[in-house]
Chain A
Amino acid sequence: MLNIKCPYCGDRSQKEFAYGGDGTITRPKLNQEISDEEWDNFVYLRKSPRGKHIELWHHIAGCRQWFKVERDTTTHEIFRTFKPEEEF
């Protein structure tokens, strides 16, 4: 069970969180002209890296904030966690 540091609440057990997928995806802007291929890439295509990965987590049984986690997908080491507006 991972130990995740919510940037708002502090260290909490993984049980309080929900995984939210790849944290590097940016949604296309509203009303943006976009090709089928670009849209499909946004909706369906995700990388599955071995190693460092920036992902979204949701503190679902806590403050209900979404935030980003930089984690190693093989060792589960968490390098840092940060608020979505923070640069990385």
Chain B
Amino acid sequence: MSQNFRLNTGGLINRDKPIEFRFNGKKYIGYEGDTLASALLANGIHLIGRSFKYHRPRGFFGAGVDEPNAKMQVEINGCSEPNINATEIELVNNLSATSQNCWPSVNFDIGAINNFLNRFFPAGFYYKTFMWPKSFWYRVYEPFIRKAAGLGIASLKKDKERYEHKYEYCDLLVTGSGPAGLASAYAAAKNGAKVILAEDKPRYGGTLLTDDVTIDNLSGKDWSEKIISELKEMPNVIVKNRSQVFGYYDHNMMVMFERTGDHLEKKPKYTPRQRLWYIRAKEVLLSTGSIERPIVFGNNDTPGVFLSAAAKEYMKVYGVLIGKKPIIFTNNDSGYETAIEFKKNGVNPIVLDTREDQNSELINEAKDLDIKIKFSYAVIVAHGYKKVKSATIGKLNKEKIDFVNTEQIDCDSICVSGFWTPTVHLASQSGNKLKFNDSIDAFVPDKSKQNEHSLGAANGTFTLQDTLKNSFNTGSEVSKSITKKDEKIQIPNTNERKYSAHDKFWCSPLPKGKNYKRFVDFQNDVAVSDIEVALREGYRSIEHVKRYTTLGMATDQGRTSNLNGLQLVANVEKKIVPQVGHTTFRPPFTPVTIGTIVGREIGKEYMPTRKTPMHHWHEKNNAVWVDAGAWKRPRYYKRGNENLFEASKREAKNVRDHVGVCDVTTLGKIDIKGPDAAEFLNRVYTNAWLKLPVGKARYGVMLREDGIVMDDGTTTRISENHYHMTTTTAQAANVLSHLEYYLQIVWPELNVNVVSTTEQWAGAAIAGPKSRDLLAKLFPKIDVSNEALPFMGYVEGDLFGVKARIFRISFSGELAYEINVESDFGLFMWEKIIEIGEEFNIQPYGTEALSTLRIEMGHVAGPELDGRTIPYDVSLEGLVSKKKDFIGKRSLAKEAFNKADRQKIVGLVPLDRKSSIPEGSHLVENKNAKLPNPKLGHVSSSCWSVENNNPFSLAILKDGKNMIGKKLFAVSPLKNTSIEVEVMSSHYVDHEGKRVRS
């Protein structure tokens, strides 16, 4: 098919570069510089989709972000994306688009039956119909509705494209490169301000590209090109096209969506597809322009009905005629510009003007060109199903609520102009309460909440001369206050024609006995009758009417429907629009891809990965990883065909029998220094710290103010005023913040400093009966005997030339030591331990074996210190000082914490000595009791005791103190198990703690 509707000359497209694309499987040709919409229109394609609810045939209506109908499934480079606005996407080779919401095809759509059943689909249809029977909602109604209410299809394939984020800071962000944007950006840039000018479209200039005006004797297009090229030369200016500022957030944080890749024929390797900009701007100038309002009439959604400015844009920018027999239906002078453009291109339009006979420069020009004009006329209804074929028009009576006479005339398109609506979305997002401007029948920004100014049409200024004057001045003043420079700029002259006043006519009345569908919101299929139903049913607040009818709730955010909807509500309610109020605008202004929002934070880049200095050794030795916060820790080291259970048993057994080594670098480490350090620790921990000698470690428990255990760990006194604190891996960051809070806010008089040294020290725990023999070989110069280095002792040593810290502490309950060296020597230390440990049968062990060892010893960890337990609950009450005060102590006196049957940690063993007890199981007395079965406690940690060769668990049990020896059931509905268990002491191995002291 050739481009029958393409003009031979004119437009900003490149006729020397044809581009092949597909629409619904068929091949078409467009030109470089086309949008998908303009290329389809050049080929005479108008039927492009079906409407959301009634499946009515729909065509193009706008030429940019205003478009409500042309949402398509678009495939470029194998990347398929739904709901793309055909008026915004640039044509590239091999682009393939398909219509949405129709089956089997856009030409023959089964769903269109809804259109003929439309009286069964009134406003609130879903709310009313699918309520009964209740159980049908999930099984029948919802799946059906989801299938029927189709937009496009999200691709199930992995998105291979690259998306990026960028941060930028500027003095002024200018949103939109129409006359207001260009003038204000230019003035600000001349004053030396750092300016970002963002334009949504590929071409700069906004309405200057389509309006017949000259500025300083240059055409609008030439003037905008001149300004843009000057701005691009300036080092303090960033000029961006294809960039939509879509969100206005707190403190002038602006978010912009840049389309960097899709329009390129060959995208360079590292060019992202799209980019998200976070821009912190000192001042924001909103030059977002305005969008033409439709006039509502019967079957106004028929393909071939356009906004009049869109029809003009298709001619002026793309060299495309949207029709060859158009009706221009207008209530203001803008329609005449479109009519004159048609006439210049050899097409004879008819203008229907709802106003009485008028004279203005523009109307007189049209009259001089012999354009047929009918004053006091309106379109009543469009005829034609898949394309406009004719229209019934009528002469309005004096009150404009009925017609004096009607006639039917042939046409192939209808261009409507109902005056202009300022694009106030960003201003509204900024917190600006809008005010109604009666002279333009629309809302304009009121007082600014943040540092923003609306300029030009976005502020309701519809004349070019005023726009330029205000914008140059505002750009100049706002930048002057930042840069203190004041470059004088001559405001240019224009040859703008004067408009006559518009008519407040916005909706054609229905002739008696007729009941045409008159659509207000095309994208969500909301007609005049739907809003009337909502009001009849008692919905009053505009926010309720919006939600009940879905008016303005589609992805176009009601850009062409909001004000007409408000007019309608005002008419029915006999109010004026400002009394009805308006609904809230929220970001994003236009849809943004999820890929762009996610950016590079995807897959393994979703969060940072922390690796210990020994990571690669673990990797080479078949470590199977487990995530501990951002850290990677070896869960176990796989040998042969071992599974987790077998490997962890082997590793744990080896610690009990010989010696094992575990990477404990991930433990939180905090360096504490200062003359008041001991006093500080004494307030932070529940036990006494004032008398800890230098060279000794102590186990400590810290609470939150509400008495709940926050964390535990050992702290060592390195020297008089220097302590080394360890925390659990998970709580490291919280504990540091906690300490800083008390030092800076609560007790600033304490002379203490804290700093995290987690990443400065690599740690290895060596544990097992042979660990002292190993230590002696690692540090031949140090006396490591039980007398010289007793349990909780600390000594510094020399590990083959590397300074090391040796702590005699134990988490496994065995004789054990922890060696720390500076991180750079971590791998060296590890390899030495493995090498020298060989003769003692050393094996590395992972977190799973570590858990086994601590569980059967009854040592508590994260699952027990779960933010719900006080020291008593986990049998740490012996560490709670009665003499001194500390953080959280007062809470421990609370009644609930001292009840006789308070929960307490216990051990559990299954009666059959075989069944593993799932963690999280509930403990109940009678497994067959009626639900809800009273819960006595829960299983917190489970392991296979390598010492006793049977399962063992820790549990937090109500009245645990008096439950030893009782038999209960551990029930897990998740695993569908119910295991009879015996309650016993939580210390299953080495009750008296002899081994750690041996």
Contacts and interface: CB of A to CB of B under 8 A. Distances in A.
B249 interface: yes
A45 interface: no
B431 A75 contact: yes
B744 A30 contact: no
B890 interface: yes
B253 A66 contact: no
B249 to A, nearest CB: 6
B732 to A, nearest CB: 13
Given A1-B250, A2-B251, A39 B890 contact: yes
Interface string A35-79: 010010011100000000000101010001110000000011010
B737 A60 contact: yes
B751 to A, nearest CB: 15
Contact of A66 (B744, B890, B893, B894): B744
Contact of A3 (B280, B431, B891): B280
Interface size class of A (residues with CB under 8 A): 20 to 34
Given A56-B745, A75-B431, A43 B249 contact: no
Given A39-B891, A66-B740, A76 B250 contact: yes
A65 B745 CA distance: 10
A17 B706 CA distance: 24
A13 B280 contact: yes
Nearest to B705: A43
A31 B886 CA distance: 9
Given A30-B885, A66-B745, A3 B253 contact: yes
Interface residues of B, number: 25
B803 interface: no
B741 A43 contact: no
B808 interface: no
Contacts of A1: 249-251, 253, 278
B278, B736, B745: which has the most chain A beta carbons within 10 Å? B745
B251 A64 contact: no
Contacts of A60: 737
Contacts of B278: 1
Query: Which of B449, B740, B890: most chain A CB closer than 10 A?
Result: B890
Interface string B272-302: 0000001010000000000000000000000
A32 to B, nearest CB: 8
A87 interface: no
Nearest to B249: A1
A62 B662 CA distance: 33
B250 A36 contact: no
Contacts of A75: 431, 449
A3 B736 CA distance: 24
A30 B894 contact: no
Contacts of B746: 27
B492 interface: no
B117 to A, nearest CB: 47
B669 interface: no
Nearest to A36: B894
A66 B748 CA distance: 11
Contacts of B250: 1-3, 76
B53 interface: no
Contact of A84 (B252, B744, B891): B744
B683 interface: yes
Interface in A1-27: 1-3, 13, 18, 20, 27
Interface string B528-540: 0000000000000
28 contacts: A1-B249, A1-B250, A3-B250, A3-B251, A3-B252, A3-B253, A18-B737, A27-B746, A28-B890, A30-B885, A31-B885, A34-B890, A39-B890, A39-B891, A42-B705, A43-B705, A58-B740, A60-B737, A65-B740, A65-B744, A66-B741, A66-B744, A66-B745, A75-B431, A76-B250, A76-B251, A84-B744, A84-B745
